[in-house]
Chain A
Amino acid sequence: MAASSNTRVNLEHSTVLLIDDNPRSLDMLSSIFQGFGVKEQIKCESAVEAAELVKRRAVDLILVDCSMPEMDGYDFTRWLRRETPTPTRHIPVIMLTGHAAQSNIHKSRDCGASFVVAKPLTPTVLLRRIIWLGGDERQFVECESYVGPDRRVRNFGPPLGQPGRRAGDLSTHVGEPAEANMDQSDIDMLMKPMRVAL
């Protein structure tokens, strides 16, 4: 999906679950999603409360803060991926992190979040990630040590509008052709090879 600033994005019919123990952060996230056009938002100040909620109603996207008392964002996501039935376990989860303590690095990698978004957070970055998730073609992986979207995203390239950070990322610039265009008979031969008499 090529996303220019005139591309339309429709989140009017989406239900978004926001989880953060800080009421001020919840209000700010809510304002951002209101700007995105989301009409139905559910705000939870604890992951435990959110876990009860997703057991009984469907949501389209979950935003969860990583650090919370009692049940943190990592444990919530891990629970969602492992302990809930489909389609609940497949709900896209965006994890928000401020500072990731050393002890949480592996939890963050292994919990099964669809995306981990590090602060500073801007509405532009958040919307870009949501649009990326809309076109997410990663397989859902379930094994003993991991349940969640395939973490190997190398072949999908960098997020929309972002320059690649890996040495192997292709440039978004399409250069001059390296050789002359193929003629129609060459293309036909590629599509449908035929025996020819020499």
Chain B
Amino acid sequence: MTDVRTTKVRSSLATQLARPGGRTIADAQRLAETGLQSHKAGVMEDLGRLIGQLEALCAAPDDGRRDRVYVLAAALVDMAGFFDTGPLYSAGYSLCDLSDRMQAGGVWSWPAVEVHVKALRLILAGGCKAGAESDVLLQGLRSVQAAFAPAA
């Protein structure tokens, strides 16, 4: 049996949080949200650039650069995940899943990637709004995903 040691720890964070003063949770959340929103325009531009890089990969498919698809999609999800980007986040996440699975499984389909990238561009152009149109797009991406799902 391995040797296990357990210790009771009180972190300095716990001590700091228990000090009197500070701000109310409501104020802290409101101020943080305001600060975060000040970055939104820049982030949306960055998302557009990332989709552009994915489009460039699809326009000249190079099997030596497959891993770039996951890297770019993961970067997109990372950035989109700071805001309510609903369907854009879901489509980006789907591309991460798909490219991760295809790489791991040793099968690769550029058309499956391309359909995701086109959906991302459409959703971004539509202001990342959830609705009937984005539902249809996401449903389509789920069908693409299903074609590469691991056997149960």
Tell me the count of chain B residues lying within 8 A, CB to CB, of chain A.
58
A4-B13 in contact given A24-B79, A98-B78, A141-B4 (Cβ < 8 Å): no
B13: which A residues are within 8 A, CB to CB? 14, 60-61, 92, 130, 133-134
Asked whether A133 and B11 contact (CB < 8 A) given A6-B24, A99-B93, A123-B33, the answer is: yes
The smallest C-beta distance from A37 to any residue of chain B, in angstroms, reads 5
B62 at interface (Cβ–Cβ under 8 A)?
A: no
Contact in complex: A119, B77 (CB < 8 Å): yes
CB pair A120 B36 closer than 8 Å: no
Residue numbers in A under 8 Å from B26 (CB-CB): 5-6
Which residue of A32, A33, A142 is within 8 Å of B7 (Cβ)? Answer: A142
**B82 and A25 contacting across the interface, CB-CB below 8 Å:** yes
Q: What are 5 contact pairs spanning A and B, CB under 8 A?
A: A8-B23, A8-B25, A99-B93, A101-B74, A122-B33
B residues within 8 Å of A by Cβ?
A: 2-9, 11-14, 16-26, 28-36, 38-39, 42-43, 46, 70, 73-75, 77-85, 89, 92-93, 96-97, 100-101, 104
Given contacts A4-B25, A60-B11, A99-B92, 17 further A-B contacts (CB under 8 A): A5-B26, A9-B17, A9-B28, A10-B16, A10-B18, A10-B23, A25-B78, A32-B35, A36-B31, A60-B13, A67-B74, A87-B9, A98-B74, A98-B96, A99-B97, A120-B83, A123-B32
